[in-house]
Amino acid sequence: MIDLTILLNRDSGEALYSQLYQYIKQEILSGKLAAETRLPSIRSLAAHLHISRNTVDLAYQQLLAEGYVQSRPRSGLYVIDLELESLPLSHQMNKKGLKNSTQVSSAIRYNFRYGDVDAAHFPFATWRKLANLSLHQDQLDLCSYGDPLGEPGLREEIAKYLHGSRGVNCTPEQIMIGAGVQYLLGVLSRLIGGANNGNGMAMEEPGYDGVRTIFSHHGFHIHPIPLETDGLNIQKLFESQSRIVYITPSHQFPYGMVMPLPKRMQLLKWAAEQNGIIIEDDYDSEFRYIGKPIPSLQSLDTHDRTVYLGTFSKCLLPSLRIAYMVLPQKLIELHDEQDYRLYDQTVSHFHQKTLELFMKNGHWEAHIRRMRNVYREKQFTLISMLQQLMGAQVSIIGQDAGLHILLRVHNGMDEHQLIATAEEEGVRVYPVSPFWAQRGEAEKTMVQIGFGGLSKEDITEGVRMLYRAWFGKRRDV
């Protein structure tokens, strides 16, 4: 049963029961009152609207007479499941659109979406045990808002992990925890000026469109900097006159190249000479399959000009919404001066405590090692199937690390056609053109394929279907 709230006009000249009847009738026709919804009792609705029971009874009797509701003995009045043909055209269209959307979604059997993770390997039992332990230890403390920068214990664990795994030099006091990298970049944008100082923001071209949108919304003028085979073109960065650059050096998004040490040193030299700021997004540095990892830019920065970003979304679950940002000391001071400590923490105190215990007890690094092997096997399956079925008809880009690849397809189809024909076979792949700030420069025959959320069996069958969709050959493989 639901409550019905309606503003009845006693001065309109129209009887109150008629106004109530018309209101409920329109709610039913529009679909806002769904079939099988129980209407309030005459007594309760009359008390709720401060009208007489007779007024409600007359409205209900009219609805019964016209077939919008039915009476069930000792139960009440229920909305009838009206035939679609009797509904207004606009409602029919909404129903039809919803049905078609559901049909399209259900027709996709294999979704190569980047950002999906292998939830089957998440240590739910361990996480549940630690969550219960958190409640037992700090039940009253977990009821508070917590530290605006994030819980000190978790920040201490993150600082130790980052120093050991990525060489990051920082204290827990330099770390800020937030509900996702995009939220943290919003805070950073306000700290470093945005529209107030007329700053320009240099970004890799192509680069992460979600981040580009955030910077644009905060008033930054975006300077797209082209890539070379080993990453950002440093000379073009100098020419852009930007003093801030956002970069993904350990696994360029979306192309996947790794910036070598000499170019990293050039970038740090640029920051020192230009009094600039480097924003280093190390979004999936845990998953490198070939070669030795290169230390983070932040670890090489002797002038304290690098902001370091990371996330737990790729290794744990995106739904936890836990990311972190390491700020240079001068930005920490600016953060305090601008009263950002008055902002409440956006990540659940409870989740932070559970993650702290997860890291402190050694589960985090063990989980990373396990997931690195899981994703390495999936990536090997994907690459092997593409090479086996498509061979020289495709070019694979960015296969050394991460949870996605780019695929350049040599069959004459453009991005839109590749995606559409794949969907006809029940497979979803994704466009890369949004990653270019200058869409006209985007590659025309390339798609993005993520593999984190699919099993090896699904990857195998999904690639078979892509082969049939794009090359139209049916053979036993």
The share of the chain scoring above pLDDT 90, in percent, equals: 58
Residue 154's CB: how many other CB atoms inside 10 A?
28
Q: What is the mean pLDDT of residues 234-242?
A: 93
Tens digit of each residue's pLDDT (9 = 90 or more) over 108-119: 899 999 988 888
Q: What is the mean pLDDT of residues 90-114?
A: 58
Cis upstream peptide for 249 (omega within 30°): no
Please enumerate in sequence order all residues whose Cβ is within 8 A of that of 341, keeping only pairs 6 or more positions apart, or say none.
148, 149, 335
Q: Which amino acid is at 95?
A: K
- What pLDDT shows up at residue 96? 39
Decide: pTM greater than 0.85: no
Q: Which amino acid is at 474?
A: R
Quick check: 21 and 14 in contact, CB under 8 A? Answer: no
β partners of residue 450: 404
Task: For residue 419, give the nearest of 383, 449, 464, 399 by alpha carbon.
Answer: 449
Its sign, for the CA torsion 196, 200, 204, 209, is positive
Question: Over the chain, what is the mean pLDDT?
Answer: 87
- Helix 349-360 × helix 124-138 angle, to 10°: 110
Cis upstream peptide for 206 (omega within 30°): yes
- What pLDDT shows up at residue 98? 39
Residue 120's CB: how many other CB atoms inside 10 A?
9
CA separation (Å) from 77 to 1, 51, 68, 126? 10, 19, 10, 48
Tens digit of each residue's pLDDT (9 = 90 or more) over 354-372: 999 999 999 999 999 999 9
Cα separation of 220 and 408, whole Å?
A: 32
Cα separation of 318 and 302, whole Å?
A: 33
Task: Considering only residues 2 and 284, tell me which one the structure prediction assigns the higher pLDDT.
Answer: 284
Task: Considering only residues 421 and 74, tell me which one the structure prediction assigns the higher pLDDT.
Answer: 421
Q: What is the mean pLDDT of residues 383-404?
A: 93
Look up residue 170 and give its DSSP letter. -
Residue 259 burial (C-beta neighbours within 10 Å; 0-12, 13-18, 19+): buried
Q: What is the mean pLDDT of residues 40-67?
A: 90
- What pLDDT shows up at residue 119? 87
Indicate the range of 121-135, 143-157, 326-340 predicted with least confidence.
326-340
Q: What is the mean pLDDT of residues 420-426?
A: 94
- What pLDDT shows up at residue 153? 95
Judged against a pLDDT cut of 60, whether residue 194 lies above it is answered with no
Contacts 24+ apart (CB under 8 A), 163-168: 165/285, 165/286, 166/282, 166/285, 166/293, 166/295, 166/296, 166/298, 166/299, 167/295, 167/296, 167/298, 167/299, 167/300, 168/296, 168/298, 168/299, 168/308, 168/326
Task: Considering only residues 289 and 94, tell me which one the structure prediction assigns the higher pLDDT.
Answer: 289
Look up residue 227 and give its DSSP letter. E
Task: For residue 278, give the nearest of 227, 315, 331, 348 by alpha carbon.
Answer: 331
Q: How many CA atoms lie within 13 A of 58 on its CB side?
A: 12
Task: Considering only residues 154 and 196, tell me which one the structure prediction assigns the higher pLDDT.
Answer: 154
Judged against a pLDDT cut of 50, whether residue 154 lies above it is answered with yes
Cα separation of 34 and 380, whole Å?
A: 49
Q: What is the mean pLDDT of residues 382-392?
A: 95
- Identify the residue whose tokens are 């409920």: 24
Q: Which helix (H) or strand (E) holds 189?
A: helix 181-191
- What pLDDT shows up at residue 97? 41
Judged against a pLDDT cut of 60, whether residue 196 lies above it is answered with no
- What pLDDT shows up at residue 86? 43
Confidence of residue 139 (pLDDT cuts 50, 70, 90): low
- Alpha helices by DSSP H, 192-242: 209-217, 234-240
Q: Which amino acid is at 117?
A: V
Judged against a pLDDT cut of 90, whether residue 459 lies above it is answered with yes
Cα separation of 465 and 477, whole Å?
A: 11
Cα separation of 256 and 231, whole Å?
A: 9
Q: How many CA atoms lie within 13 A of 342 on its CB side?
A: 3
Q: What is the mean pLDDT of residues 151-157?
A: 96
Cα separation of 155 and 168, whole Å?
A: 13
